[in-house]
Structure 1
Amino acid sequence: MDRETYIKTFTADDAVGWQSIDISLEKNYRDTKPRHYGPLCGLHFAAGGSDPIDGASIYDSDKQEFHRHIVSYGMSELYYNEALAGSEFSKWGFEFTFRLKPFEDDKDDPLWAVQVMNNLASYVFNSGKWFEENHFVPANGPVRLNTDTEITGFVFALDPELGKIDTPHGEVSFLQLVGITENEVQRLKKNPVTTAVKELIDELKTNNPLLITDLNRK
């Protein structure tokens, strides 16, 4: 979308990128309504808040097996910005997603997973280095703090349902966090190249095509 069309289509009050994400999610989930959470710190990042994730939507999904599907808002350009109309990528070019099988210690929605997204987002904002498909991140401990789980790291895959979208600010990929075990972390540390990460993701997809993270997986 060129700048002239952008100015004619939107106003300064429009959350242009946010709306693009919502449209994509509505196409996927139709009548399923999410539970939406604002920034965990209480103040939106654009207004001076400390958390880069300005919000997260959590959907209950019965696809493959029951799980919670978490989608971030904050890594792409969410708000009106005519100077960015027609860019190749929207800000960092992605949003985080995470599919989580219910865990017995999570009595309510797993907001710890949103905090994980915030931690990763802070790394991106502070370092200027972004994540892409087939990247790998060791957590140096359980991904859910103070939890007896063998899931101690993540790989990034393109969300199997959401994929990529074009927005007025540029392309946005939905990058899914996929929990991996300590043995898998050590395997990738020995060979931390994207082809090795992709090979592991393809193995995981064999029995888990939606790449749902199960904290009880051994």
Structure 2
Amino acid sequence: MSISEGNDLDERGWNAVTEAVSRHYPETHEFHVAYMPGLHFGSPLQGCSALRGDDHWFYVTYGLTELWAKESDEPTTSGYGYELTMRVRALPEEDAPPQWPYRALSNLADYVRHGPQELWLGDRIRLPDLAAGEPGSTLTTLAVTMDPVVAAIDTPNGRVEFWQAIGLTDDEVEAAKASSTDDVLQGMAISNPLLITDPARG
């Protein structure tokens, strides 16, 4: 997951994210997407990696925290203080991850950078074309909660948390409005503790 070797970039932040994820997905082939033209030229993220779990694909972003040398004046927090994760149902015959989560996480990161307000845990962000390309999917919204597995880390650039995005249907969004996002996600976690998004379940 590291940037190509042989350059002179200080990759302290990038490598810290990689190490945190690798504790839970060791020796797993990485499918990495680089967003063009790149973080310093307007992309909301530098990249996103997908790794195969037993029954799901795990995605993690690179770019909402300080990936290289420390740049901000806030010593205790790296960038926005978190990277985004997502777990998506994997079919037994799949040998590569679905592409739509890369786009969905990039869109969510764009909201973080340019949205009308700050993103918080428990928020719900509507993306009508969330699972575009998945036949029959009724997922419309991403809810945000703390990743249930990948713990926060302290890096040379400051603290980094991992916030998981979970796909919701309109019915689940209405239920969250009547109670809370946490209530809906806690109910889902009874049978789905990793909060794996399944675009076909709607």
Query: TM-score under structure 1 normalisation?
Result: 0.79
In structure 1, runs of 5+ residues without a counterpart are: 1-11
Hey, what's the Cα distance between the residues in 2 that align with 1:83 and 1:216? 42
One of 7, 17, 32 as aligned partner of 1:36: 32
One of 60, 81, 100 as aligned partner of 2:70: 81
1:197 corresponds in structure 2 to 181
Hey, what's the Cα distance between the residues in 2 that align with 1:92 and 1:185? 26
- Are the counterparts in 1 of residues 13 and 68 from structure 2 also a CA contact under 8 Å? yes
Match of 2:45, SS state, is: coil
- Are the counterparts in 2 of residues 88 and 169 from structure 1 also a CA contact under 8 Å? yes
Match of 1:30, SS state, is: coil
Hey, what's the Cα distance between the residues in 1 that align with 2:70 and 2:107? 26
One of 129, 132, 147 as aligned partner of 1:145: 132
Hey, what's the Cα distance between the residues in 2 that align with 1:26 and 1:102? 19
Match of 2:23, SS state, is: helix
- Are the counterparts in 1 of residues 75 and 157 from structure 2 also a CA contact under 8 Å? yes
Percentage of matched positions with identical amino acids: 27
Hey, what's the Cα distance between the residues in 1 that align with 2:14 and 2:62? 7
Hey, what's the Cα distance between the residues in 2 that align with 1:179 and 1:137? 10
Hey, what's the Cα distance between the residues in 1 that align with 2:31 and 2:103? 16
- Cα 1:180–1:127 change in 2 (3 A) is closer
Larger helix proportion, structure 1 or 2? Answer: 1
Cα offset for 1:142? 4.4
- Are the counterparts in 2 of residues 92 and 130 from structure 1 also a CA contact under 8 Å? no
Query: TM-score under structure 2 normalisation?
Result: 0.85
In structure 2, runs of 5+ residues without a counterpart are: 1-7
1:159-178 Cα shifts (integer Å, max 9, x gaps): 11112111112211111111
CA RMSD across the alignment: 2.3
- Are the counterparts in 2 of residues 138 and 185 from structure 1 also a CA contact under 8 Å? no
Return the letter of the residue paired with 1:137. Answer: I
Matched, 1:187 2:170: no
Cα offset for 1:30? 2.2
- Are the counterparts in 2 of residues 142 and 149 from structure 1 also a CA contact under 8 Å? no
- Are the counterparts in 1 of residues 45 and 106 from structure 2 also a CA contact under 8 Å? yes
Cα offset for 1:137? 1.7
1:118-165 Cα shifts (integer Å, max 9, x gaps): 1121122124743232221222x3421254212111211111111211
- Are the counterparts in 1 of residues 100 and 130 from structure 2 also a CA contact under 8 Å? no
Hey, what's the Cα distance between the residues in 2 that align with 1:149 and 1:27? 32
Kindly report which structure 2 residues correspond to 1:1-150, keeping only aligned pairs within 5 A, or say none.
Answer: 13-39=9-35, 41=36, 43-46=37-40, 48=41, 50-62=42-54, 66-81=55-70, 84=73, 87-102=75-90, 108-127=96-115, 129-139=117-127, 141-145=128-132, 147-150=135-138
- Are the counterparts in 1 of residues 31 and 96 from structure 2 also a CA contact under 8 Å? no
Matched, 1:210 2:194: yes
**Structure with bigger gyration radius:** 1
Matched pairs, number: 193
1:77-107 Cα shifts (integer Å, max 9, x gaps): 11112655x7222111111111001369x88
Match of 1:120, SS state, is: helix
